[in-house]
Amino acid sequence: MLPEVTATRYVTPLREGGSLPGIVEADDLGTYVMKFTGAGQGRKTLVAEVICGRLGRRLGLRVPDLVQIQLDPVIGLGEPDQEVQELLRASGGLNLGMDYLPGSLGFDPLAFEVGSAEAGRVIWFDALINNVDRSWRNPNLLVWHGELWLIDHGASMIWHHNWPTARTAAAKPYDASDHVLASFGPDVDAAATELAPQVTEDLLAEAVADVPDEWLTDEPGFDSPDAVRRAYAEALAERAATIHTRITLGPRRAEKPSQAPEWLRVRVDGKAAK
């Protein structure tokens, strides 16, 4: 189970995030990037963050530590921004925090070189969780102490927004043609050989067990939080086995060309984009 802390001070909002996460201090003297149950995307964003974050760490990827954060909305009474006050009032109780990485920089593919092995592992992982939010437009990667860190997995596992079609959706391919690491010669096959065997029933059970019951209750079509957890684990297990054969790298089809800037298309194609 994730460690649980209590927020003691709301420091500042992070406006580059669509759900308006904020930096908070907690009673364990830690500083966290907090994501709120009252944000527009709701609790499923937090569920995705937990499952994907814990799974990523178990597979050896760098993902900030996660905690459960108890929030008393009173800590935001001094916040001058009305939108932030409303978000805090709507998020009393249990929320999610990610360890704040002080001094980290947003990933710039022109300034930071990524090896083909690491690029392949990140792309394979994103394909596994169907992460649509690691493109050149919005990398959701940080560089901290000279190493690459993965953040913001709330838009992953899109199939959990419509469970009746989850099996079909989870079987779909993954288009990585606009992935921010597509230009670094990612060795996806090597990543699959290394990582897919690690996605065992026990590993998935550990990852989904970290989701608090209250974020899984009253899910339509399920009679218990554990039933929802099993559905997540089954979808991921099925995807892990063969997703590397359904990853699209390089330029998109002529009828749907990549929208990446020319420098990225040149690096992927090995020639000037037309």
Q: CB atoms < 10 A from the CB of 77, how many? A: 10
Q: Can you tell me the distance from the alpha carbon of 88 to that of 83, in angstroms, rounded to the nearest whole number?
A: 9
Q: Which of 105, 91, 126 is nearest to 20 (CA)?
A: 91
State residue 1's pLDDT score.
Answer: 84
Are 10 and 79 a contacting pair, CB within 8 Å? yes
The single-letter DSSP state of residue 15 is T
Q: Can you tell me the distance from the alpha carbon of 37 to that of 229, in angstroms, rounded to the nearest whole number?
A: 19
Domain ranges of the chain: 4-103, 106-269
Q: Can you tell me the distance from the alpha carbon of 118 to that of 115, in angstroms, rounded to the nearest whole number?
A: 5
Are 7 and 25 a contacting pair, CB within 8 Å? yes
Collapsing DSSP to helix, strand or coil, 106 comes out as: strand
State residue 249's pLDDT score.
Answer: 87
Q: CB atoms < 10 A from the CB of 99, how many? A: 15
State residue 272's pLDDT score.
Answer: 39
Are 30 and 99 a contacting pair, CB within 8 Å? yes
Cβ-in-10-Å burial (0-12, 13-18, 19+) of 220 comes to: exposed
Give exposure, 229-255, as e/b (b: 16+ Cβ within 10 Å): bebbbebbeebbeebbeebbbebeeee
What pLDDT tens digit does each residue of the chain (274 aa) get?
899 999 999 999 987 656 789 999 999 999 999 999 998 878 999 999 999 999 999 999 999 999 999 999 998 888 888 888 999 999 999 999 999 999 999 999 989 999 999 999 999 999 999 999 999 889 999 999 999 999 999 999 999 999 998 888 888 999 998 999 998 999 999 999 999 999 999 999 999 999 999 999 999 999 999 999 999 999 999 999 999 999 998 655 555 555 555 555 555 555 433 3
- Does pTM top 0.85 for this prediction? yes
Q: How far is CA 178 from CA 28, 114, 258, in A?
A: 40, 16, 6
Q: Can you read off the two tokens belonging to residue 4?
A: 């649980």
